[in-house]
């Protein structure tokens, strides 16, 4: 079994987590590979092989992302395009997509033996039309169209299959997958959705309305968002936490189900619900922050 690891060394303890995970995997018969750019950082560890990611990812059996959910998001397109399952080892605070904490690294033995579940997750195609150009992106979590700091407020129209479903004045709108339901959408008042469901969640951000409610749209929906702002005001298109384009009034963002899916590896079993109970519910019961 060949495993390619993506560590996010900006995270505290990521070096130690990566080192320990690589050692356990090789002790159980796996081959562990990292990018050439980490050769000096992980020098002296003879159980790690270094290889160019672009040439090796198509040849590996799976990908391990060591960091937080953001690290998984950065790896998601690579994993989806090459149809490689991905396992997350959490170095962050929440980590809803990460299956393992550092204290659970011994479970990597089960990974090598093939004793794990796969959670198939829908992704989104994002097409942005601005100034006569079209830019395309892929999202695992969400797409946000929101006013920039130079705008006090903006008007948005949201359509499904060319039929208007909402016209609103707000700070922005979020279109998310079920995987992204526990991210920005939840903070904006959206519901939690079981992550392997296929749907598009439409959530309004600080809408100037008494009736701002999240809508759950079918996975086959083609959703478009148009914005209208005051002169010299702009909105940002944000894909999986990254601002990708600045739009002017009249530009359009189209979102639909992607041809790509990503398979999230779950070794512990029921990791999503365990994360919900541990990381969202317990703080309401007085759990100390340090235990999150």
The reply to whether 155 belongs to the active site is: no
Closest listed residue to residue 124, CA positions, set 225, 210, 33: 225
Beta carbons within 10 angstroms of residue 125's beta carbon: 17
Distance in angstroms (rounded) separating the CA atoms of residues 178 and 197: 6
Give CA–CA dist 11/153, Å, rounded.
Answer: 35
- Residue 111 host element (H or E): helix 108-113
User: What 3-state DSSP class applies to 43?
Assistant: coil
Handedness of CA 201, 139, 240, 228 (dihedral sign): negative
Tokens of 97: 């997509």
Nearest to 203 by CA among 148, 131, 114, 141: 141
Tell me if 181 sits within 8 A of 217, measured CB to CB.
no
Stretch (H or E) spanning 48? strand 48-50
Helix (H, G, I), strand (E, B) or coil at 158: strand
61, 69, 125, 171: the catalytic one is 69
Residue 226: name the closest of 249, 202, 204, 255 by CA: 249
Handedness of CA 247, 249, 251, 253 (dihedral sign): positive
Please tell me the distance from the alpha carbon of residue 110 to that of residue 178, in angstroms, as a whole number.
Answer: 27
User: What is the set of active-site residues?
Assistant: 69
């Amino acid at each position: 079994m060949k495993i390619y690891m993506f560590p996010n060394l900006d995270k505290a303890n990521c070096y130690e987590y990566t080192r320990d995970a690589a050692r356990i995997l090789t002790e159980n018969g796996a081959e562990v590979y990292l990018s050439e750019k980490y050769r000096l950082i992980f020098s002296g560890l003879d159980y790690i092989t270094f290889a160019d990611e672009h040439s090796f990812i198509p040849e590996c059996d799976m990908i391990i992302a060591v960091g937080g959910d953001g690290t998984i998001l950065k790896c998601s397109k690579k994993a989806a395009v090459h149809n490689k399952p991905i396992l997350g080892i959490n170095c962050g605070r929440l980590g809803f997509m990460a299956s393992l904490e550092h204290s659970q690294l011994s479970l990597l033995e089960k990974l090598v033996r093939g004793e794990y579940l796969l959670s198939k997750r829908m992704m989104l195609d994002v097409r942005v039309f601005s100034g006569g150009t079209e830019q395309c992106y892929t999202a695992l979590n969400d797409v946000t169209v929101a006013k920039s700091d130079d705008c006090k407020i903006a008007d948005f129209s949201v359509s499904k299959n060319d039929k208007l479903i909402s016209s609103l004045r707000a700070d922005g709108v979020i279109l998310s997958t079920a995987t992204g339901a526990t991210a920005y959408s939840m903070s904006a008042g959206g519901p939690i959705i079981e992550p392997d469901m296929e749907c598009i969640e439409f959530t309004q951000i600080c809408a100037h309305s008494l009736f701002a409610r999240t809508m759950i749209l079918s996975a086959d929906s083609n959703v478009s968002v148009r914005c209208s702002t005051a002169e010299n005001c702009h909105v940002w298109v944000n894909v999986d936490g990254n601002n990708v384009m600045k739009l002017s009034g009249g530009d359009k963002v189209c979102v639909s189900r992607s041809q790509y899916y990503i398979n999230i590896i779950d070794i512990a079993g029921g990791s999503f619900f365990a994360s919900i109970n541990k990381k969202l519910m317990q703080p309401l019961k007085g759990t100390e922050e340090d235990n999150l």
